[in-house]
Each structure stands twice: as C-alpha cells, then as structure tokens.
Amino acid sequence: MRRFGSLFLFVLLLGVAAGLASAQSSVDVNVGLGAAQATAGPGFDTTTFMNCTATTTSCAKTPSLNSFFMGLGANLMLWEHLGFGGEANFQPVKQTFATLGSTGLGSTEKLQTRVTFYDFNAIFRPVNTPRANLLLAGGIGGANVRFYDSISGSGSVLGSTNSSQFFSSSNHFQMHAGAGVQLYLTDKVFIRPQFDFRYVPNFVQFGRNTVTQGSVWIGYSLGERQ
C-alpha cells in the first residue's frame, strides 16, 4: 500500500502540474464519503481457515461488507470530453470479521479487517456545461483486505485492555465502472454524487465478486475549465 500511495501522489502531482501548465486541460481534486456493499461469505473454519462447508464443526460466521468508506481522487481532463483519473477508497475504521472465542484469560479474540479499493480510469464527459458535468469512468485497479488480530478484555488488576496487531493481507485485481453528476457550487468548487460498480475476481472474503458503492465527492477544479 505504500507503493500505491507514492504512485498515486506522483500521478496527482503530475496531473496538477499539467493542468496548471496548459490552458487546454484541467484537474479536479476531490475527497469523498460513502458506503460500499457486498454480501456475507460462508464463514471460515477456525482450525483450517478454509471456507465453511456442510461438515464444518468449528465455523466462524463473517459479516457482509456494508461499511463507511472515505476516498481520495483526482481527474485530469486533457480534452473537453476525455481524460483520465484515479481514486482510492478505504475503511477508516476496522471492521470485526469474526469472533474467534475466548483466550482463557477473560479476554475475547477477534479477527478484524480493513478494506481498500484503488483504481485508475479513463474518463468520458459526454455532458459539459458551466454548472454541471456528467462523468463516466472505467478502468482497472486492485482491492486489498488487511487482517488484524484483536484481543479485548477486562480484569480487576489491569482493568479494560485492548490490543491489535497486523495478521496478514490479501490482494485482488478489480475492474471498475462509475458514473457521477458533478454540480458546481462556484466556478471552481463542486459536489459530485457518484455510483460505482466493482468486479473483484475471487473475492472469497465476502459472498460475491461484485461490490457496489455510493459516494458524495467534494472537490476543486484547477486550471481552465472547458
């Protein structure tokens, strides 16, 4: 994820420089808030960490993905109707994935997750007016699921205790499509309701390979708007 952060920052800075240097291009930088959804998976065997089956005796249930996400993004419009962009959407708070049971010391052990989606897109803007734009995006990227081992409990000596440490990470390829209406509050400041659809092959942590997301983005346009 550090490599992705550095690459995303480089692309963003490159886009800003290009937008400021050319009157024929513009750059939109934005932050978003929303929620992503995917159905719950079959759970996993706490002894083998494989998916539960009809004969599994120690199956831990897992939740659906229905969580608050934050986003960072930028679009570089090289022409009036065409450009490219990138965005990252992440869970700011860990989600409890499964309860593994008691540690035997009055504490409960849980497996928590934090999901991140990132993608790089071609942007098509079929409608472009001074007050509103229609943006269609399509591209590829990745999905990252980070797992944490969390232990919480309470006792007469130590009181309430909580600890969490990184356990493992799972990476997936994804294909992305999105549509949004960009409404300008001023000549530069905009708000954009957006719907996203992601196809994540072998997304075994959840019950389906498709993820939907609804977000509201707030941003600022740099350079000359076309």
pTM attached to this predicted model: 0.81
Which among 204, 198, 31, 177 is positioned nearest to 113, based on CA atoms? 204
pLDDT of residue 53: 72
Q: Residues 8-64: pLDDT tens digits?
A: 554 555 555 444 444 457 899 999 999 999 999 877 777 767 777 766 667 778 889
Q: Indicate the range of 33-47, 103-117, 144-158 predicted with least confidence.
A: 144-158
Contact present, 1 and 144 (Cβ < 8 Å): yes
Buried/exposed code over 13-42 (b: 16+ C-beta within 10 A; e: otherwise): eebbebbeeeeebbbbbbebebebebeebe
DSSP-assigned states of every residue in 60-71: EP---EEEEEEE
Domain 2-34+69-223, what fold? Porin (2.40.160)
Q: Indicate the range of 1-5, 27-31, 104-108, 152-156 predicted with least confidence.
A: 1-5
Which among 54, 26, 64, 58 is positioned nearest to 45, based on CA atoms? 58
Name the band, by pLDDT with cuts 50, 70 and 90, for residue 6: very low
